Amino acid sequence: MTKKLMNRVAIITGAASGIGQAIALRYAREGADIAIVDIADGTSVCADIHRLGCKAEYFKCDVSNEAEVSHLAKNVIDRLGRCDILVNNAGIYPLAPFEEISFKDWKRIFEINVDSQFLMTKAFLAGMKERRWGRVINLTSTVFWLKIEQYTHYVSTKAANIGFTRALSAEVGSFGITVNAIAPGLVKTRTSENSPLAGMFDVLPNTMQSIHRLEEPEDLTGAAVFLASDDAAFITGQTLAVDGGMVRH
């Protein structure tokens, strides 16, 4: 079978675990060289990719920090040559009632979930423009369309991810660059399993989804490959819900 991402270099933020890890492994299987970017240790994900016979490097970086991202950009170009596909996946999703969210908490979640997408895209867009080919894929969430409590700060960041996707796509389409977003539903990852969200694992698939099973990180990988591939060359500015049928738009 033809591999869909042969000869591409993909950077995936937050790829040491969860959804980012699943996308990194799937991209490697599709032939891409992979940069695992994470504040946490990504060496074991790299080792898994090497066992597949594919190329991967781990870069430790806080993607909300401008100086670290600038250093990372130089390192990635030195080691992997370029970035064709950027998956802005790193994010946090702590629950808190609005009254308990401090201004410091509010700013920190925006730094990690929103500023990171801005900084990483800034760092790699110029190269994509020069080569007149590029893919930017931003992780948002279906919570944007749902009634959900204790998530004012998080939902606001995920709305910003959608706005960023839509607005940027208009400026870069003529350079062969597409910018799209993926909106997962409730996904079982180590982080969600260890949060109050785990309390919804049994109930939500049967009550809110059309497909009555819990979403796994691997469920996101087909959409991530498609949007990164040449098959999706004429799709941009879109947000694709991959949530078992929770929202329709």
- Give residues in contact with ligand NAD (CB under 6 A): 13-14, 16-20, 38-40, 61-64, 89-93, 112, 139, 141, 184, 186-187, 189-192
Residue 249 corresponds to which amino acid?
H
The least distance separating ligand NAD from the CB of residue 183, rounded to whole angstroms, comes to: 7
- At 152, is the secondary structure helix, strand, or coil? helix
The least distance separating ligand NAD from the CB of residue 4, rounded to whole angstroms, comes to: 22
- At 4, is the secondary structure helix, strand, or coil? coil
The least distance separating ligand NAD from the CB of residue 77, rounded to whole angstroms, comes to: 19
- Radius of gyration for the alpha carbons in the chain, expressed in angstroms and rounded: 17
Taking the least distance from each CB to ligand NAD, the nearer of 173 and 247 is 247
Taking the least distance from each CB to ligand NAD, the nearer of 133 and 148 is 148
Cα(175)–Cα(22) distance, rounded to whole angstroms? 29
Taking the least distance from each CB to ligand NAD, the nearer of 130 and 185 is 185
Catalytic status, residue 154 = yes
| DSSP class per residue in 99-145 | GG--HHHHHHHHIIIIIHHHHHHHHHHHHHHHHT-EEEEEE--GGGG
Catalytic residues: 154
